[in-house]
Structures are given as structure tokens and as C-alpha cells.
Amino acid sequence: MKLLEERIKQDGRVIGTEVLKVDNFLNHQVDPALMKAMGDEFARLFADAKVDKVLTVESSGIAPAVFTALALNVPMVFARKKKSLTLSEDHYTADVYSFTKQETNHVIVDKRFIQPGERLLLIDDFLANGQAVEGMMQIAEAADAEVVGVGIVIEKTFQKGRALLDERDVRVESLARIAAFEDGEVIFAD
């Protein structure tokens, strides 16, 4: 998606060799016009997937996920992060190791909000090692729901998330694909 690539070039800041900071349009301050364009694009890409619901993880997945859900005219659910968990029968849970924060979060979704047989579109801001998406897939599996696609705003192709998802045989669409960071510059994949 050209608009997003241009915004990344303009406002993204490369931290070390693996992390991109995009906190002035996605991860802290949010650009609603760009989020809407991204939501429309995900809706176009998954138009034939018969999506019943969009699922993401708080907090940075929420903005792109809500605009995607709006464009698809379906509800959006976000998994909540909990540091500690008293096991409850009312929730689906998964452990997600955060690549950027280097800590494990329990993510939880109330059982009322995913029904067996529902067709879920998973949305997240970044795909790095695939742990966040993997956690959402575990929740979908526990709920007997079907993952019909994964929409990623920014995929880093040099990390192992994509290979993990390809093994799971799930359709993945990324709006921007980054092949490398070189001397503080973003190199996009073809």
C-alpha cells in the first residue's frame, strides 16, 4: 500500500536492526484517515472471505481493526492483556511473548464474544515472530471458530512470523512488507 509505505518513509524511525517506531501515526498518536484507508484496503482484500468478526490484541491492533470491521460491517473484538491471571471459565486465554517489550502477557477474550463456527479475520499492527497472531489463533481454536485470514499492517519479512503462519496454511495479507533495516533506512520487500 503506497500511502502506508510513504508514511513509513516519512515518519518511521528505525531502532537498531529489528524495530521500527511508528508512534506518530499508529502506536501512540493515531492518524484516523490513514487507519480508514487501511481498513478499507483490508476489507477489499478479504471481501470474499465471509468474515463474521474481526479479532485483534490491544492496544495497537485496535485502530486498524476497528476500521476494517467498519468497512466489512461486522463487530470487532480485542483480546485484553493481563499480567496475571486467575483462571476463569468465562474466558479463552493464550500466552503471548512480546517481541518489543520482552515479556509474556496473558491475553484473554470473554467467551461471549466468539461463538463456535464464527469466521474470524485476525488483524495486527506488526508481524515479527508471529507470537501475537499465534495467540489469537489459539483463542480461535479454543472457541471452535475458524480463522479465515490474517491482516497485518507492517510485516517484517526477515523475522520468523511469516514462515510460522505459512506452515499453518492461513491466508496472510500485509499492507507493507519490510525486508531489512539498513543504516537506519527502511528497505521494502518487492
Binding site for ligand 5GP (CB under 6 A): 19-22, 27, 60, 98-100, 124-132, 161
Q: In angstroms, what is the minimal distance from the CB of 126 to ligand 5GP?
A: 4
Question: What is the rounded distance in angstroms from the CA atom of residue 3 to the CA atom of residue 84?
Answer: 39
> What single DSSP character describes residue 52?
-
Q: In angstroms, what is the minimal distance from the CB of 101 to ligand 5GP?
A: 8
Residues counted in the chain: 190
Single out the residue of 136, 121, 1, 115 nearest to residue 49, CA to CA: 121
Q: Any binding-site annotation on 24?
A: no
Q: Which is nearer to ligand 5GP, 11 or 111 (CB)?
A: 11
| Helix H or strand E encompassing 96 | strand 91-97
Question: What is the rounded distance in angstroms from the CA atom of residue 5 to the CA atom of residue 16?
Answer: 19
Q: Any binding-site annotation on 33?
A: no
Q: Any binding-site annotation on 111?
A: no
| Helix H or strand E encompassing 95 | strand 91-97
Question: What is the rounded distance in angstroms from the CA atom of residue 155 to the CA atom of residue 168?
Answer: 17
Question: What is the rounded distance in angstroms from the CA atom of residue 26 to the CA atom of residue 42?
Answer: 16
Q: Read off the C-alpha cell for 177.
A: 512488507
Q: Which is nearer to ligand 5GP, 46 or 126 (CB)?
A: 126
Q: In angstroms, what is the minimal distance from the CB of 14 to ligand 5GP?
A: 9
Q: Which is nearer to ligand 5GP, 39 or 130 (CB)?
A: 130
Q: Any binding-site annotation on 129?
A: yes
Q: Which is nearer to ligand 5GP, 89 or 168 (CB)?
A: 168
Q: In angstroms, what is the minimal distance from the CB of 185 to ligand 5GP?
A: 14
Q: Any binding-site annotation on 73?
A: no
Annotated binding site for 5-phospho-alpha-D-ribose 1-diphosphate: 128-132
